[in-house]
């Protein structure tokens, strides 16, 4: 029912862009400039102009997607066109260079463009793969649902420890209070768990709640009578909590990976604009 931007309108922009690339290659092969092919021939200028205009148009997506009242096409259609026509720039710009590279502003602009496009490729991959992966990890729950479940378990745990020795209560309560999520971008990306717990007055790392689980299991092994039962239900609940926290952490990590390319794609695009301006200016100044 729902079609993604990749297959929008039966991949309309894929075909458009493919046809365009093939056409450009054919003309490139056909045209026979006096010197070897480069940006300065009539065909070089044509491709350069087209490429520069396309870059401006590609950049315009950032504005277009916020024109919420605009009736000209859907954002999905624009994204689809952005992806496929953007990809075709690799061919257009490469033909524009005539395969002449060097240590100069022209090649810098070209390299930046490639970085933008390749980061975009990763973006497409991420947007296709990660949403469903995240949904699978969360078992079709929203993050809020899971947080709610965790809160419910936390209340349950607080109730359960009231019947158990004070040290266990102190440990579980401090583990709840010192559970952490997110952190900096790198922490999110690597799925680092900075949760802590205070045991016997000392704050220790509680990565993946392992310390607490191990401690509880240890106590359960030694427990007798009613305490065994109480501890067993505590361990069961705590295990459920551990699992849910893991789900959230994985989701945060996947979501960070899903979005990381934007931190390259957008800033480098602006860098590209600067380099492109310098490239065009220098071409005209040193005519």
Does position 144 interact with other proteins (CB under 8 A)? The reply is yes
Task: Please select the residue that binds other proteins; options are 140, 166, 224, 286, rule is CB under 8 A.
Answer: 140
User: What mask, x for binding other proteins by CB under 8 A, covers residues 66 to 105?
Assistant: x-xx-x--xxx-xx--------------------------
Q: Please work out the total of residues on this chain that contact other proteins, with binding judged by CB under 8 A.
A: 34
Does position 8 interact with other proteins (CB under 8 A)? The reply is yes
Does position 224 interact with other proteins (CB under 8 A)? The reply is no
Element housing 143 (H / E): helix 143-161
- The residue (of 242 and 255) whose beta carbon lies closer to other proteins is 255
Q: Which stretch binds other proteins (CB under 8 A): 64-72, 113-121, 241-249, 265-273?
A: 64-72
- C-alpha angle with apex 71: 68 to 77, nearest 5 degrees? 85
- Kindly state the tokens that stand for 169: 């209560």
- The residue (of 8 and 279) whose beta carbon lies closer to other proteins is 8
Q: Residues 138, 140, 144, 147: is their CA dihedral positive or negative?
A: negative
Instruction: Give the residue ranges of DSSP H helices in 60-142.
Output: 61-64, 75-97, 105-137
- The residue (of 49 and 155) whose beta carbon lies closer to other proteins is 155
Q: Which stretch binds other proteins (CB under 8 A): 38-46, 47-55, 142-150, 265-273?
A: 142-150
Q: Which stretch binds other proteins (CB under 8 A): 43-51, 60-68, 84-92, 271-279?
A: 60-68
Task: Please select the residue that binds other proteins; options are 65, 178, 192, 194, rule is CB under 8 A.
Answer: 65
Task: Please select the residue that binds other proteins; options are 2, 35, 36, 221, rule is CB under 8 A.
Answer: 2
| Alpha carbon distance 98, 91 (integer Å) | 11
| Alpha carbon distance 217, 230 (integer Å) | 12
Segment 100 to 139, residues that bind other proteins, using CB under 8 A: 127, 130-132, 134-135
In the complex, what is the shortest distance from the CB of residue 51 to other proteins, in angstroms, rounded to a whole number?
Answer: 24
Question: What Rg do the C-alpha atoms of the chain give, in angstroms?
Answer: 28
- The residue (of 96 and 134) whose beta carbon lies closer to other proteins is 134
Does position 3 interact with other proteins (CB under 8 A)? The reply is yes
Q: Residues near 172 by Cβ (< 8 Å), separated by ≥ 6?
A: 157, 158, 161, 212, 234, 238
Does position 141 interact with other proteins (CB under 8 A)? The reply is yes
CA distances from 156 to 111, 152, 170, 200, 266 (A): 57, 6, 15, 23, 46
| Alpha carbon distance 29, 213 (integer Å) | 68
Segment 235 to 274, residues that bind other proteins, using CB under 8 A: 255, 258-259
Number of H helices, E strands in the chain: 11, 2
| Alpha carbon distance 261, 185 (integer Å) | 13
Binding site for other proteins (CB under 8 A): 1-5, 8, 62-63, 65-66, 68-69, 71, 74-76, 78-79, 127, 130-132, 134-135, 140-145, 155, 255, 258-259
């Amino acid at each position: 029912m729902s079609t993604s931007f990749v297959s929008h309108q039966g991949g309309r922009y894929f075909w458009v862009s493919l046809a365009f690339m093939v056409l450009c290659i054919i003309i490139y092969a056909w045209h026979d400039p006096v010197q070897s092919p480069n940006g300065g021939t009539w065909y070089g200028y044509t491709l350069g102009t087209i490429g520069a205009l396309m870059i401006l148009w590609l950049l315009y997506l950032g504005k277009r997607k916020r024109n919420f009242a605009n009736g000209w096409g859907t954002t999905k259609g624009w994204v689809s066109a952005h992806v496929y026509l953007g990809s075709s720039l690799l061919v257009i710009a490469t033909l524009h260079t005539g395969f002449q590279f060097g240590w100069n502003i022209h090649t810098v602009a070209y390299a930046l463009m490639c970085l933008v496009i390749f980061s975009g490729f990763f973006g497409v991959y991420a947007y296709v793969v990660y949403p469903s992966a995240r949904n699978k990890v969360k078992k079709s729950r929203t993050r809020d649902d899971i947080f709610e479940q965790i809160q419910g378990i936390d209340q349950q745990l607080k109730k359960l420890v009231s019947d158990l020795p004070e040290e266990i209560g102190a440990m579980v309560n401090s583990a709840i209070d010192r559970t952490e999520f997110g952190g900096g971008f790198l922490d999110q990306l690597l799925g680092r768990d900075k949760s802590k717990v205070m045991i016997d007055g000392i704050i220790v790392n509680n990565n993946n709640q392992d310390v607490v689980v191990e401690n509880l299991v240890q106590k359960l092994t030694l427990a007798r009578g009613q305490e065994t039962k109480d501890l067993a239900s505590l361990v069961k609940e705590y295990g459920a909590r551990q699992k849910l926290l893991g789900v959230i952490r994985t989701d945060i990590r996947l979501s960070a990976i899903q979005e990381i390319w934007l931190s390259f794609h957008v800033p480098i695009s602006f860098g590209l604009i600067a380099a492109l301006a310098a490239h065009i200016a220098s071409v005209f100044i040193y005519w």
